[in-house]
């Protein structure tokens, strides 16, 4: 099933008749690492720890790493998750695939099916994400914006296919209330802020509740405990990381942009 905006923040489901999640596994890229939600004591918190607290799960297995793609999740992270035999596994990956010139939706879908098969093989409930229009959050030059939009559409088609498997649910990020609000995003506008991570945790908690598990401590959306981000932080990020990132992605997606421009020109010349 796909989570809709109306079910984004669940009420408490602490009913003793509902099974509790003992082990939660979270797999994926930098968002799953927790980037964007800096902990007061250093490091990152992110939706995995918030979700663990909501579920009251004694064990969190989080082998996620920055830059991971679907193939890396399959090869590096799934074995660690499967060994822990989680009741619930969140797989949050895909955007890094779209930002590379070798993006292959068919290969990604095959890897994704293998990820799901392995997790379902230990009877884990699997949660995936359907992505939002990131160009509404991170503003890009028009050619790069069009290229990324096409890629996100292809990525979501893969996620829709994967979500048809038994025991799999899909969190639609585009439908989350406030998903496009500035406060939901970190200084880089690539990762969720503390509020954004709380929204993700609440959304996943709703899917877990719908699957019949107890959620004794629903995720609150009131931010607390993170480090303050100032205007100086934003400027520093833009100079040190933002502009270099844009240059790298423009170079990597250059062939895709050129092909898109050629296709657009061809359509504009076609008879009505």
pLDDT digits (tens, 9 = 90+) for 186-226: 877 778 999 999 999 999 999 999 999 999 999 999 887 65
pTM, two decimals, is 0.81
What pLDDT shows up at residue 227? 53
Tokens of 218: 């629903």
Residue 73 banded pLDDT, cuts 50, 70, 90: very high
3-class DSSP assignment, residue 23: strand
Alpha-carbon distance of 117 to 75, in angstroms, equals 13
Name the strand (E) or helix (H) holding 88: strand 88-92
What pLDDT shows up at residue 25? 98
Alpha-carbon distance of 155 to 221, in angstroms, equals 28
Fold for domain 2-269? Rossmann fold (3.40.50)
63 near 77, Cβ under 8 Å?
yes
Alpha-carbon distance of 215 to 207, in angstroms, equals 10
Tell me the C-alpha to C-alpha distance, in Å, between residue 76 and each of 65, 111, 143, 175, 229. 10, 12, 34, 31, 33
Please tell me which of 110-124, 183-197, 257-271 the model is most confident about, judged by mean pLDDT. 110-124
Mean pLDDT of 10-21: 74
Helix ranges restricted to H, the chain: 30-33, 46-55, 70-72, 78-84, 95-98, 105-120, 142-162, 194-210, 231-237, 243-252, 254-269
Residue 17 banded pLDDT, cuts 50, 70, 90: confident
The proportion of the chain whose per-residue pLDDT surpasses 90, expressed as a percent, equals: 57
Whether pLDDT at 28 is above 70: yes
Delimit the domains of the chain by residue range.
2-269
- The set of residues, in sequence order, having a beta carbon less than 8 Å from that of 174 and lying 6+ positions away, is 130, 131, 132, 133
Tokens of 158: 């893969």
Mean pLDDT of 59-70: 96
Residue 144 banded pLDDT, cuts 50, 70, 90: confident
Alpha-carbon distance of 256 to 101, in angstroms, equals 7
């Amino acid at each position: 099933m796909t989570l809709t905006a109306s079910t984004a923040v669940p009420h408490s489901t602490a009913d003793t008749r509902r099974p509790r999640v003992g082990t939660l596994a979270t797999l994926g890229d930098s968002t799953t690492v927790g980037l964007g939600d800096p902990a007061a004591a250093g490091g990152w918190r992110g939706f995995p720890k918030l979700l663990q607290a909501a579920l009251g799960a004694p064990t969190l297995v989080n082998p996620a790493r920055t830059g991971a793609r679907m193939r890396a999740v399959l090869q590096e992270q799934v074995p660690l998750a499967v060994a822990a035999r989680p009741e619930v596994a969140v797989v949050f990956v895909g955007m890094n695939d779209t930002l590379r010139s070798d993006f292959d939706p068919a290969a990604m879908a095959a890897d994704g099916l293998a990820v799901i098969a392995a997790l379902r093989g230990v009877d884990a409930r699997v949660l995936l994400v359907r992505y939002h229009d990131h160009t509404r959050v991170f503003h890009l030059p028009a050619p790069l914006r069009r290229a990324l939009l096409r890629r996100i559409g292809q990525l979501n088609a893969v996620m829709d296919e994967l979500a048809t498997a038994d025991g799999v649910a899909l969190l639609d990020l585009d439908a989350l209330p406030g998903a496009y609000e500035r406060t939901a995003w970190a200084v880089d506008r690539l990762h969720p802020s503390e509020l954004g991570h709380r929204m993700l945790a609440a959304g996943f908690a709703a899917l877990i509740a719908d699957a019949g598990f107890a959620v004794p401590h629903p995720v609150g959306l009131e931010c607390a405990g993170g480090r303050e981000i100032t205007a100086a932080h934003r400027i520093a990020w833009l100079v040190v990381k933002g502009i270099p990132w844009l240059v790298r992605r423009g170079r990597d997606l250059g062939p895709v942009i050129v092909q898109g421009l050629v296709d657009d020109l061809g359509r504009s010349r076609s008879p009505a």
